[in-house]
Structure 1
Amino acid sequence: MIRTVQETGSTNADLATALRAGDAISEGDWLVTDRQTAGRGRQGRTWFDGHGNFMGSTLVRPHGRDPAPASLALLAGLALYEAVLPLVANPTDLRLKWPNDLMFGGAKLAGILLEREGDAIIVGIGVNLAAAPDLPARRTTTLSTFGPPPDRDLFANALAASFDKELERWRTYGLDPLVRRWESIAHPFGAPLTVSPPGEQPINGTFAGLTEDGALRLRLAGGESRVIHAGDVMLANEEG
């Protein structure tokens, strides 16, 4: 079920509030808004409120045998990729960037934010269908650059169906095939990256794939690898 509201502070925050109040929210339910006044991205950044864009949240209730909840960022990225893929003229320009961005032509097209509330993981997704924010030192893009903006409601239905399919695959087949698929549509192996782990100075290296549990492998200049479990990642061609 997709529920749409005209305006809210944050769809993630609304779902969290509803869960704390004991409301019955099922996997597959989505909250989508026309306007979001207090949206949040990773590390406290503002989540851009662009009219005509997709801004929505859903939730997953991980079971004991499910893969690690953090891997839901990869799952959401694949679902987002599959929903956007039919809308772009050149699929090779559409790439995933670890841990939670969808890029088009080296610029940010969409982002994902995961937050835990009790036994649920809330998955917030923002997609630049009609407009893109002007971010400092980071290029952004929108699907409307290449033609008429996609209908938001049709896109919401496509994304919800794609997310359901990826969630079933995640539970049925585990993390390995998901990681392999994610790598196949990510920035190429060897791509220069700058990673800023929490509380550390930026680290330069190249993309060396993902670990079995979905963490980033960064190849350093000396040839050694470092596993990154959290941090900001910038591609060499991403800076504005």
Structure 2
Amino acid sequence: MSTDTPRPPLDTVQISEKISRYWRVSVVEVTGSTQEDLLNLVQRAEARTGDVLVTNYQSAGRGRLDRTFEAPQASALLFSFYIQPKRDQSEWSLLPLIVGLSTSFALSRLDPQVTSSLKWPNDLFISGLKTGGMIAQTADDGIIIGVGINVAMQESELPVAHATSLSLQNFGELNRNVILAAFLNEFSNLLERWEAGEDLRHLYLERCSSIGAKIRAELPSGVIKSGVAVGISPNGELILEDGSRITVGDIVHLR
């Protein structure tokens, strides 16, 4: 493993002293998947809203559409959290977008010199390269959301050619404890505003590179849709110029 970039260990004390008591953070050194671990806790009625699991290494991490995700030990910020939103479940599909927005806001707060963007529905980009992603699933009376951010990866450790890391982008803060705390604080704020009824889509639109782009969407059914993305519905769907809406699918920017 490259040691060119410092990789401070995860520390619950360091994280907890920077966040509100709404969150309860647990660190596990190695696991299969924080998402699966938290799901098991929910199914056993042992999880509460605000529980967060973060790990140094996971051997069976999951991305969207059942893809696998793996990162060298301590090179990425990998965590999942469980919440029970105070809005109707029919509206929860906007939450993954709010998570992406919170991630982008947190990075901007930590280093205003580095600009991040969001690709609908769940990708974080810096300099046109993928830096992170999110996954969400409902569980019992709540939702579990997983986040992965490439923090200290060197080029040889990147999962795909079009990826990057905060380190490679000369990001000013590479301590995962600080980054996680910043994210939780940003998400707490946006979640409270959303639960109070505020429409946050305008904030997402400002950072979403998919809006105004010609895109190709491959739906789970195999159907291909193309067109210019012009907006986001109240439920987080991507709206194309012909009025059609995409709920889930692989998105490629054509221009």
Compute the displacement of 1:74 (Å).
Answer: 1.2
| Corresponding letter in the other structure for 1:229 | T
Corresponding residue for residue 102 of structure 1: 124
Corresponding residue for residue 77 of structure 1: 100
Across the aligned residues of Structure 1 and Structure 2, the Cα RMSD in angstroms comes to: 2.0
> Per-residue CA shift, 1:88-128, capped at 9, x if unaligned?
5645x411111111111221111000012111200000001
Corresponding residue for residue 134 of structure 1: 159
Gaps of 5+ in 2: 1-23
Matched, 1:203 2:225: yes
- CA–CA separation in structure 2 for the residues paired with 1:186 and 1:166: 17
| Corresponding letter in the other structure for 2:183 | L
Match of 1:20 among 28, 43, 46: 43
Match of 2:184 among 160, 168, 174: 160
| Corresponding letter in the other structure for 1:157 | A
- CA–CA separation in structure 1 for the residues paired with 2:219 and 2:233: 17
Matched, 1:190 2:212: yes
Match of 1:30 among 37, 46, 52: 52
Corresponding residue for residue 14 of structure 2: none
TM-score (norm 1): 0.87
- CA–CA separation in structure 2 for the residues paired with 1:210 and 1:64: 19
- CA–CA separation in structure 1 for the residues paired with 2:228 and 2:147: 27
Q: Does the Cα contact within 8 Å between 1:52 and 1:152 map onto a contact in 2? A: no
| Corresponding letter in the other structure for 2:243 | S
SS in 1 for 2:236: coil
Compute the displacement of 1:236 (Å).
Answer: 3.1
TM-score (norm 2): 0.82
| Corresponding letter in the other structure for 2:238 | L
| Corresponding letter in the other structure for 1:112 | M
Tell me how many residue pairs correspond in the alignment: 227
Q: Which aligned segments of 4 or more residues in structure 1 are displaced greater than 3 angstroms?
A: 63-67, 86-91
Corresponding residue for residue 229 of structure 1: 247
Task: Tell me: CA distance 1:201–1:67, structure 2 relative to 1, closer, same or farther (3 Å).
Answer: closer
Task: Tell me: CA distance 1:6–1:41, structure 2 relative to 1, closer, same or farther (3 Å).
Answer: same
- CA–CA separation in structure 2 for the residues paired with 1:36 and 1:119: 26
Compute the displacement of 1:67 (Å).
Answer: 6.6
